[in-house]
Structure 1
Amino acid sequence: MEIERSSGILVHISSLPSSYGIGDFGPQAYKFIDFLVETRQKIWQILPITPTQSPSPYSGMSAFGGHWWLISPEKLVENNFLSKNDLKMIDLSKFHDDYVAYKDVRNLKEELLGKAYEHFKMNDKEAENKLKDFFEQQRYWIDDFTLFLTIKEQYENGTWADWPDPLRRHQSSALDQIRQEKKDRIQYHLFVQYVFHQQWFELKKYANNQHVKIMGDMPIYIDYDSVDVWAHADLFQLDKENTMKPTVISGFPPDQGADAQIWNMPIYNWNDDNVKPRLFDWWIERLRHALNTVDMLRIDHFRGLESHYVIPVDIKTQKPKMSEARWIKTPGDEFFTTITRTLGKDVPLIIEDIGALTPEVLELRDRFQLHGVRIAQKGFTYDADNMYAPHNFIPRSVAYTGSHDNPTTLQWWTKEASSKEKRQFIDYIRRPIGDQDELIDGLTLEKHVDKHICWYLIQLVMQSASNAAIIQIQDILNVATRMNEPGSSADMDHNGPQNWSWRFQWSQLTSDIRTRLKTLTQMYGRDLKYGKSIPPDDMVMKDSKCLIQ
């Protein structure tokens, strides 16, 4: 796939303004697309929109379903699932403009969707047929999905490993009994996905009609307590004879002074030749579904598709055995060969080629001509060969000021960048000739950078050779609050500011910001009607030597 020379904004849907506690698919999302068009942006990058049991969008309980928190109350009224009076009865005072109070949002959305379902059944004569048609369209995943949620409610939201043995082992007779006994509740969950699908694709169509593409995000792993692990247990490394719990879990080794990370997610049966064909089929369906939902897809932790970090666990206690953790080869070449053979060579994938990189990782990326990512904040620590230094960005890449896992640019500069990094950054942007002490707007260069660091970094990313440049919206707004602090948790029952809860307000997107963003976008040719072609391989600067060891 070739990305045209373009730029865009990274902001998750939950961070959009909205009257109902969380950004959603409603009017403010359409307004945000209008902002992208006004400033000549061509890409809106979002985080995963699959359902979760926690605030983190990367803790998916389904690889296919849609998150009902993102369903718009206003659109429910517009589509005749609710009345205006239903919205007037909501106490909006408990919601906050600058963060998501997840517990209150969850309760509100469940209440409204319950009302919408009852209204749909009573007032739409075609209700049953509409749901039946939708079920048939999504049959691959949605039968297991609606069963999983229904059974989970029946057993008070405990993990599926604690269900009675016939259910946890996905036995057909036990599932048929649930289908008969809980038919209406299953239909409710089907209805919620029907509404999600309707609202999302209306929004996506609006974006595409404005020549804005949606870039989605896919975690490589999914939660253990997910419908996919339950329904496809043979695809994962579990103790299938007894507990059905993971025998190994995913994570990442200690890196550049940071402690080892334990992600607690099960690992695929990559190297079991009997399982591999079914595993690849599942991945193909997952990618096909995702690429129908978005226009481009970023795959998180590409490193794990070349070799995956395996942490054995004690089956009885489920405690990790860190002393036995190791990298194990993933059949990445076979995997991507199967993907491209089935879905085509132009599959629009962007891969996160960050962390413990080896020549094999970069060779796999380049063999399948995948766009990697470049995080500009990482560009001022090492020498001139640093692959994250803006002068080393290559066309087949997506340049970022920072991602959701990085500090915002303001936070990086004021709290995390070392004095050496700051000095290197100042020298990097300094004029090659002239009076180095010349004042800018009455300030020395150092003081001017302190005041305008976000726009300095945005400009470097915009003017780079990377085909796409993506800016965190926090960097445009010059705010320090980041979306995620890796290693820290977030709690569904906590209603205060926390990980994954940040939101912006329209008053922050001033006319000056809009003009400045549009000017830079046009100045560096990222709003051209026709995209810039990627040079032949022999003309592209190779960056395999630029490794972070």
Structure 2
Amino acid sequence: MNGERASGILLHITSLPSPYGIGDFGPEAYKFIDFLHETNQKLWQILPLTPTEKCSPYSSVSAFAGNPLLISPDKLYDMKLLTKEDLIIPSTFQLNDQYVKFKQVTEYKHTILKKAFENFQKQQQKQVDDLLKEFLQSEHDWLDDYSLYMTIKEQQNKKSWSEWPHELKFYQKNKLQQIRETKQDFIQYYIFIQYIFHEQWKKLKTYANQLNIKLIGDMPIYVDYNSVDVWANTKIFQLDNDTLLPSVVSGYPPDDCSTNGQNWNTPIYNWNDNLKKSAVFNWWIKRLEKTLQIVDIVRIDHFRGLESYWSIPVDENHVPLQPKDGQWVKAPGTEFFNAIFDALGKDLPLIVEDLGNITKEIIELRDQFNLTGIRILQFAFTFQPDNLHLPHNYLPNCTAYTGTHDSLTVVGWWIHHALKDEKKNFLEYINIPIMHDADDHDKLGNQDIVISYLDKHINWYLIQMVLGTVANRTIIEFQDVLGLGNDCRMNDPSLSSNPDYDGPQNWTWRFTWSMLHEKFRTKLKFFTNIYNRK
């Protein structure tokens, strides 16, 4: 899509409507693709599709597997793996149309997935082994470890792998083979879930691609410690040899957004061990190759961590120190991308999140490989001289956003967060007439009137502005199309989330079709067309 002007929507699958408590790959996903097509959108950006035991899609038990919660019960019915009676939601599950109750949804989805698996075994009979064996063979690089990991985790009452018996914790192959032979039903269940996930997603992606819509996926730079990726690949992470606990953890130093800094508490790759670095590269190559089979374009989160990363030490009890106690450590960015492009080709469709404490070295790394950076219009109006988020500073090779999943909605930013000077800067930038021949007092009064007017219309001003830039790709957060406030924000990084909590929180927002008024469809299509993104 280099050089082609295109626009799209940012909306995660979980935020789609559905009667099952969470958005999925069912009929409503196809309906949303139809909406994108009708309004001439060419891109649909989603968050990571990997499985999580928490609320955040950026906290996964596998960098390769698919999230079972996204599997559509309706599509399982179409496959004759569930009956109409199976689709009736028991009253014990108090699901919600406005937000995701992760604990309830997880229990419900696994209940019906187990029913579907039982029916699959009965219906397929002798074919079931061959079908799952074929799928396992095609995905063996990650699926064998994943199905083993999930089976052991279930047998170990969901404890962290660091607390498993020694032979399991240290990945002893003879013990793992014994589990393969004695826990075949459990292993096959987890293979079945991944088979269904991939079948449903493949059909949905094909439908989108046939309508000239490309899927943008998202890839966190780090993986959870409590994941199959770390358990099965301990040598590529900075872990203590005796305990296999992290010897350092990732994070970010104190800055304007976080005075105490951030501790992400994920292990860091063995970038600087020359003997193990190639193994890190090979794992990343497989990860990117798999992700690019799932989506058309990949956005890499926290790109600056590929040039240098914030390393937080741990104490003698393996408890991380404060983020301020960390340090920047050089990462092998050029060597890393050379390995990636040599293995996968020079024209990989990548977007990199070049935000945060961006140095000239990071910009040089991005431009050395002609990687597509991002711009956030919501960040533009502080009017710092070097603010790259101002539209006149955009380059064609960037992806421009009204806001991201981590930011305020446009309406929420304008009404509750934007400073008075930011609003003044915005008005001057777009040059709304303020009766230039009036005296200063009248000008101030007229500005206040305009600001009051924009309280109800600011989202469309920013949508129009971002679509009109030279950026080849523009992405509008769906909440901004709907004109919603911060109560519909997807994620506030300053707040933690709890999968056991049943109320609205980070990652739980969902929309209903009643929010999408006809005038919003009309405006979106109109602005898309006049800025030649159709």
TM-score range, shorter chain: over 0.9
1:387-406 correspondence to structure 2 within 5 Å = 387-406=388-407
Q: Which amino acid aligns with 1:325?
A: G
Note the C-alpha offset of 1:420: 1.0
1:451-530 correspondence to structure 2 within 5 Å = 451-480=456-485, 481-527=488-534
1:73-88 correspondence to structure 2 within 5 Å = 73-88=73-88
Q: Does 1:271 align with 2:276?
A: no
Note the C-alpha offset of 1:84: 1.4
Counterpart-to-counterpart distance in 2, 1:520 and 1:378: 22
SS of residue in 2 equivalent to 1:262 = strand
Deviations 1:181-220 (A, max 9, x none): 2111000000000000000000000000010000000000
Q: Which amino acid aligns with 1:260?
A: G
Note the C-alpha offset of 1:3: 5.5
Q: Does the CA-based 8 Å contact 1:402-1:471 persist in structure 2?
A: yes
Q: Which amino acid aligns with 2:510?
A: R
TM-score, normalised via structure 1 length: 0.93
Q: Does 1:26 align with 2:31?
A: no
1:351-390 correspondence to structure 2 within 5 Å = 351-390=352-391
TM-score, normalised via structure 2 length: 0.96
**Counterpart residue number, 1:534:** none
SS of residue in 2 equivalent to 1:140 = helix
Unaligned runs of 5+ in 2: none
Q: Does the CA-based 8 Å contact 1:302-1:352 persist in structure 2?
A: yes
> How many residues in Structure 1 have an aligned counterpart in Structure 2?
525
Q: Cα–Cα, structure 1 residues 217 and 331, in superposed 2: closer, same or farther, change >3 Å?
A: same
Note the C-alpha offset of 1:315: 4.0
Counterpart-to-counterpart distance in 2, 1:104 and 1:303: 37
Counterpart-to-counterpart distance in 2, 1:291 and 1:264: 27
Note the C-alpha offset of 1:378: 0.7
Counterpart-to-counterpart distance in 2, 1:355 and 1:62: 26
Note the C-alpha offset of 1:386: 1.1
Note the C-alpha offset of 1:177: 1.1
Q: Does the CA-based 8 Å contact 1:314-1:321 persist in structure 2?
A: no
Note the C-alpha offset of 1:445: 2.5
**Counterpart residue number, 2:96:** 96
Q: Cα–Cα, structure 1 residues 323 and 301, in superposed 2: closer, same or farther, change >3 Å?
A: closer
**Counterpart residue number, 2:160:** 159
Note the C-alpha offset of 1:2: 1.9
Counterpart-to-counterpart distance in 2, 1:423 and 1:519: 28
Q: Cα–Cα, structure 1 residues 92 and 217, in superposed 2: closer, same or farther, change >3 Å?
A: farther
SS of residue in 2 equivalent to 1:229 = helix
Counterpart-to-counterpart distance in 2, 1:89 and 1:362: 51
Note the C-alpha offset of 1:273: 0.4
Deviations 1:336-383 (A, max 9, x none): 011111111110000000000000000100110011000011100133
Q: Cα–Cα, structure 1 residues 363 and 211, in superposed 2: closer, same or farther, change >3 Å?
A: same
Note the C-alpha offset of 1:243: 1.4
Counterpart-to-counterpart distance in 2, 1:385 and 1:62: 39
Deviations 1:70-125 (A, max 9, x none): 00000000111111121135449722111001111001100000000000001113
SS of residue in 2 equivalent to 1:274 = helix
Q: CA RMSD in A?
A: 1.8
Counterpart-to-counterpart distance in 2, 1:237 and 1:3: 40
SS of residue in 2 equivalent to 1:426 = helix
Q: Cα–Cα, structure 1 residues 317 and 278, in superposed 2: closer, same or farther, change >3 Å?
A: closer
Note the C-alpha offset of 1:454: 0.6
Q: Which amino acid aligns with 1:512?
A: K
**Counterpart residue number, 2:180:** 179
SS of residue in 2 equivalent to 1:94 = coil
SS of residue in 1 equivalent to 2:159 = coil
SS of residue in 2 equivalent to 1:54 = coil
Counterpart-to-counterpart distance in 2, 1:482 and 1:510: 19
Note the C-alpha offset of 1:174: 0.9
Q: Does the CA-based 8 Å contact 2:375-2:389 persist in structure 1?
A: yes
1:236-275 correspondence to structure 2 within 5 Å = 236-240=237-241, 242-256=242-256, 258=258, 259-275=260-276
**Counterpart residue number, 2:52:** 52
Note the C-alpha offset of 1:390: 1.1
Q: Does the CA-based 8 Å contact 2:93-2:104 persist in structure 1?
A: no
Note the C-alpha offset of 1:429: 1.0
Note the C-alpha offset of 1:450: 1.8
1:62-73 correspondence to structure 2 within 5 Å = 62-73=62-73
Q: Cα–Cα, structure 1 residues 394 and 323, in superposed 2: closer, same or farther, change >3 Å?
A: closer
Counterpart-to-counterpart distance in 2, 1:373 and 1:208: 23
Q: Which amino acid aligns with 1:356?
A: N
Counterpart-to-counterpart distance in 2, 1:38 and 1:118: 40
Counterpart-to-counterpart distance in 2, 1:59 and 1:4: 33
Q: Which amino acid aligns with 1:393?
A: Y
Deviations 1:117-141 (A, max 9, x none): 0000011131111101000000000
Q: Cα–Cα, structure 1 residues 396 and 92, in superposed 2: closer, same or farther, change >3 Å?
A: farther
Q: Which amino acid aligns with 1:40?
A: N
- Greater shift, 127-136 or 85-94, is seen at 85-94
Counterpart-to-counterpart distance in 2, 1:3 and 1:133: 40
Deviations 1:396-432 (A, max 9, x none): 0000000001011111111111111111111111147
Q: Which amino acid aligns with 1:210?
A: L
SS of residue in 2 equivalent to 1:370 = coil
Q: Which amino acid aligns with 1:455?
A: W
Note the C-alpha offset of 1:43: 0.3
**Counterpart residue number, 1:189:** 190
Note the C-alpha offset of 1:257: 5.2
Note the C-alpha offset of 1:490: 1.1
- Greater shift, 443-452 or 334-343, is seen at 443-452
Deviations 1:491-536 (A, max 9, x none): 1111110110000000111110000000000010111xxxxxxxxx
Q: Which amino acid aligns with 1:453?
A: I
1:308-457 correspondence to structure 2 within 5 Å = 308-431=309-432, 444-457=449-462
Q: Does the CA-based 8 Å contact 1:250-1:265 persist in structure 2?
A: yes
Q: Cα–Cα, structure 1 residues 93 and 271, in superposed 2: closer, same or farther, change >3 Å?
A: closer
Q: Does the CA-based 8 Å contact 1:245-1:315 persist in structure 2?
A: no
**Counterpart residue number, 2:5:** 5
Counterpart-to-counterpart distance in 2, 1:516 and 1:89: 38
Note the C-alpha offset of 1:444: 3.7
Counterpart-to-counterpart distance in 1, 2:268 and 2:287: 16
**Counterpart residue number, 2:224:** 223
Task: Report sequence identity in percent.
Answer: 51
Counterpart-to-counterpart distance in 2, 1:322 and 1:471: 33
Counterpart-to-counterpart distance in 1, 2:494 and 2:136: 38
**Counterpart residue number, 1:533:** none
**Counterpart residue number, 1:281:** 282
Counterpart-to-counterpart distance in 1, 2:299 and 2:47: 9
Counterpart-to-counterpart distance in 2, 1:209 and 1:91: 39
Deviations 1:417-465 (A, max 9, x none): 1111111111111147965889xxxx94222212201111111111011
Q: Cα–Cα, structure 1 residues 92 and 471, in superposed 2: closer, same or farther, change >3 Å?
A: farther
Q: Which amino acid aligns with 2:31?
A: K
